[in-house]
Copies of this chain bind each other. A is one copy, B any other.
């Protein structure tokens, strides 16, 4: 579904933003961030002074097999070192800062990053520690602030969720993703001719069952029924299924239906 192949380098690696976690606290969060990154094709994780060191056993299970990211993860002593090879760095923050720096949405950020990457630049996303968020000194090293729009009365977002959202938005900027599609498996949409045969079959049976009552009602009901089935975009096979349904109801269904009606009548009587 996701056409990322053309974005790969010769080393078979998707070029994407580096994810830089500044002083992350919990190994579990790092692991979950790793999983979310790789869900969206990102592999360049950088840790600035992780509290519990690195490698961290607690990160392995939550990474759920994204070993390629775990293995490549690099550790730095400062944010400045971690971003030194990047041209554009975006700082994620949940709360407003006393800083005169452009604030952009994740979507805008990822669209800018995609543009930079396409023109050969390296980009990165900075994430602060779980509770405190990024320090203002880290933000001052960044190109702009990215702020995830959040419920103002509950803006405390989990670190791995934040990494996931940004990674997701990055993947969204891949232009190959279609808004919607209808999988047709091994079949194909029915032709109008096939549909018309279904209509004729159904309408003949309904006519015989006395369903239409009057000519006026027949013309109205026929239109309604036809609209239902044209709207469903039936496949070749589904037309056959529906013809089987009509046939079964017309031949075997009558008696059952009458019995059921009797049942309902009795029930209503008892409820009175």
Contacts and interface: CB of A to CB of B under 8 A. Distances in A.
Contact of A1 (B98, B102, B107, B152): B152
A104 B66 CA distance: 26
A interface majority secondary structure:
loop
A136 interface: no
A131 to B, nearest CB: 11
A144 B232 CA distance: 12
A172 B149 contact: yes
**Number of identical monomers bound together in the oligomeric complex:** 2
A187 interface: yes
Interface residues of A, number: 57
Interface of A: 1-2, 4, 32, 35-36, 38-41, 64-66, 96-105, 107-108, 144, 147-152, 154-158, 160-161, 164-165, 168, 171-172, 174, 177-185, 187, 235, 238
17 contacts: A1-B96, A4-B152, A35-B157, A35-B161, A39-B155, A65-B156, A100-B182, A100-B183, A100-B238, A101-B182, A103-B181, A105-B177, A105-B178, A149-B171, A149-B177, A158-B164, A165-B168
